Structure 1
């Protein structure tokens, strides 16, 4: 069994995901960070209807004079036509990257732009183009990404690929610390790889509660390729006018890279001892698998070109991690297929299915890495290895029947579901149940013993959220000192490939039973 997989998939009894944190309406944050400018336009006329208050500092014209003006007054004809062409051909939610030259009052300035199409509006995020020729070198970034990709392909497994990713992203960005952070099934995150300066705190193998990245924030990673906070000490910039004239409500900034950051998260960064951060999603099979989290002790603002390269690189890293996970699954399936083949031959060569799967050179225990197995069928009970007692097995089957477990069921924390099993947790903290005739309480049962494990958290997860007396204002934990939790009543987890093998075996057993009758 893959050790890293087991660590990530430990079942934590308490749910640390926070509906309270996840209820913050991020789409109604009507402020942006000051390292860029936001313009809101009427999509049909390209008339500017809303602008961030800092626009006047960068666009040579006061915000009040920008409003209600057509964008055509400020862009070269060729760029305006390019913008019109791209938005007319664009029907999905992807952002359109452009280079724009702003012209006003005899002055001009070059910007990198991201264009969003939303509800009859055009949102344009502008960041001044200050990169040098060397930073704008496509060849340079292409060569670096190709080199990192080649290293990732050579990695032997997921852990090694994650190590390479952390190390190479740190070299590429010069952040003080880069973490590769994988979500467990309950959305707690565990640091599976780390590259850092010696003076930075060590977070390797630490787990962070799901409330650190609540659901709403997790969902936004599907529309935002990265989240950058160049400095946590900044004055948020409001939009003028405050209410969008086109919608008569706040402008939805959830997809904007410039969207301002909740005060509680800035406090979280301060408690981490960092000034700047950047995070990139790792998305596998259209699910958020994890994050690459970058921290810096001082303010830092990666160039637009570098961020674009990181956006591409996070996709490549995701693909390589997916490939390593797929390779692991293929190898495990091949191994299980071989065991299943031998077990199948034994099953069909035996006088009855019970002796076919519990006795002989290959057994159910070999197939599913069990320490004990039992069959309850037609009023009789057969066992192999370490199992609960006969009466306890009857009661367990009764609980399964009452729970209407008529399909394959597996848990690595049976005592959390069925309290009476605490009496025999040493042999049966993990259960897999293959129904034969669920209505009659007839099952094939497999058991795994309790494996007491120590989970190391980055701070006490029970104090992850500290509410003020008003019940509305809250603060993040102020300490990330390692907090150890002993996890009891759990076994090693069941892997998807093992569940597939169990289902195939169940079908074979049912087929043999039908033939015997």
Structure 2
């Protein structure tokens, strides 16, 4: 694959501001909710306003409470175990249950400074057969990636396998050139879906601060492009006086400029997986839903992220085979 001389296709352009603080949007997407916890006493300092939609009580009632008053003993044991690890993300995800409730939540933890951030999504996969099927499909996908004989084949396989796992309408590999312009170099799409193969996109479509977040947080999901963002309350952390940094958040609300861009492209759902070559962002596996909202379970997202990690590890090797 000649990545230096890809034929120029149509260019879609939007005006993005490199100074937009997209890591502190002050809101989250509503398919989950968030708790920002002060350590070491584990008191809730901030949370997503949409918590009430999940737990049936006003979000403000939980501010200042200790999480041990909310979660079951088994859940607290899992959380406390994660807090003892050098990286609290090592045990993600946890399964959390609230006192007095039978439902469970898929929960991820990460730290920012002295704040512990818990993000919770309604658990959707209790079926062991589904999990086993996805495990086998993921193993098969990894075998196919490792068997690829060229960069072309590696990227094509990645697109096919991610689309198979997610059921999304179009999956492309999006490559960044030395000036951060993008090009679609591989694609898998459903019947009747418009091809983006060979299209070029200006660097302004994915500005500098967005690329930085892609390098830090390898997967992003927008299950409903038309979502109504849920504010973080209070807007400023009472201890630090600063907005909550959501750089590593999986629920982080995205820029209104990006939402406008997705709408202009006809997307109704979106997911992306970062591809890294060494410590530099090389490209993205970019996925589009075109027929309404599409929620992708945490487990399936994890499988897709693992595919991205494997592709990243193979980029140098497969490039040398060209």
TM over 0.5: yes
Cα distance change on mapping 1:92 and 1:275 into 2, 3 Å: same
The corresponding residue for 2:148 is: 155
The corresponding residue for 1:174 is: 167
The corresponding residue for 1:7 is: 5
Q: What is the distance in 1 between the residues matched to 2:231 and 2:129?
A: 31
In structure 1, runs of 5+ residues without a counterpart are: 329-517
Q: 3-state DSSP class of the match of 2:187?
A: strand
Q: 3-state DSSP class of the match of 1:190?
A: strand
Deviations 1:44-73 (A, max 9, x none): 101111111111121233212211111111
The corresponding residue for 2:190 is: 197
The corresponding residue for 2:261 is: 268
Q: What is the distance in 1 between the residues matched to 2:60 and 2:14?
A: 43
The corresponding residue for 1:461 is: none
How far off is 1:17 after superposition?
A: 11
Q: Could you tell me which of 293, 313, 316 is aligned with 1:319?
A: 313
Deviations 1:228-277 (A, max 9, x none): 11111111101122221121121111221111111111111111111111
Q: 3-state DSSP class of the match of 1:245?
A: coil
The corresponding residue for 1:49 is: 45
The corresponding residue for 1:252 is: 245
Do residues 305 (structure 1) and 303 (structure 2) align? no
The corresponding residue for 1:75 is: 71
- Would the aligned equivalents of 2:36 and 2:44 in 1 still touch at CA under 8 Å? yes
How far off is 1:136 after superposition?
A: 5.3
- Which has the greater radius of gyration? 1
The corresponding residue for 2:123 is: 129
Q: TM-score, normalised by structure 1?
A: 0.58
How far off is 1:134 after superposition?
A: 4.5
The corresponding residue for 1:65 is: 61
Deviations 1:448-503 (A, max 9, x none): xxxxxxxxxxxxxxxxxxxxxxxxxxxxxxxxxxxxxxxxxxxxxxxxxxxxxxxx
- Would the aligned equivalents of 1:4 and 1:159 in 2 still touch at CA under 8 Å? no
Q: What is the distance in 2 between the residues matched to 1:56 and 1:48?
A: 15
The corresponding residue for 2:176 is: 183
| Count of residue correspondences | 317
Q: What is the distance in 2 between the residues matched to 1:31 and 1:274?
A: 21
Higher relative contact order (CA 8 A, sep 6+): 2
Q: What is the distance in 2 between the residues matched to 1:136 and 1:116?
A: 27
Q: What is the distance in 1 between the residues matched to 2:261 and 2:211?
A: 17
C-alpha root-mean-square deviation of aligned residues, in Å? 2.2
Q: What is the distance in 2 between the residues matched to 1:173 and 1:222?
A: 22
Q: What is the distance in 1 between the residues matched to 2:267 and 2:317?
A: 33
The corresponding residue for 1:89 is: 85
Q: What is the distance in 1 between the residues matched to 2:310 and 2:187?
A: 18
The corresponding residue for 1:118 is: 112
Q: What is the distance in 1 between the residues matched to 2:66 and 2:237?
A: 17
How far off is 1:310 after superposition?
A: 0.9
Q: What is the distance in 2 between the residues matched to 1:306 and 1:119?
A: 29
In structure 2, runs of 5+ residues without a counterpart are: none
Deviating beyond 6 angstroms after TM superposition, the runs of 4 or more aligned structure 1 residues are 92-95
The structure richer in helix per residue is 1
How far off is 1:79 after superposition?
A: 2.3
Q: TM-score, normalised by structure 2?
A: 0.92
How far off is 1:115 after superposition?
A: 0.7
How far off is 1:83 after superposition?
A: 1.3
Deviations 1:424-465 (A, max 9, x none): xxxxxxxxxxxxxxxxxxxxxxxxxxxxxxxxxxxxxxxxxx
- Would the aligned equivalents of 1:183 and 1:189 in 2 still touch at CA under 8 Å? yes
Do residues 217 (structure 1) and 215 (structure 2) align? no
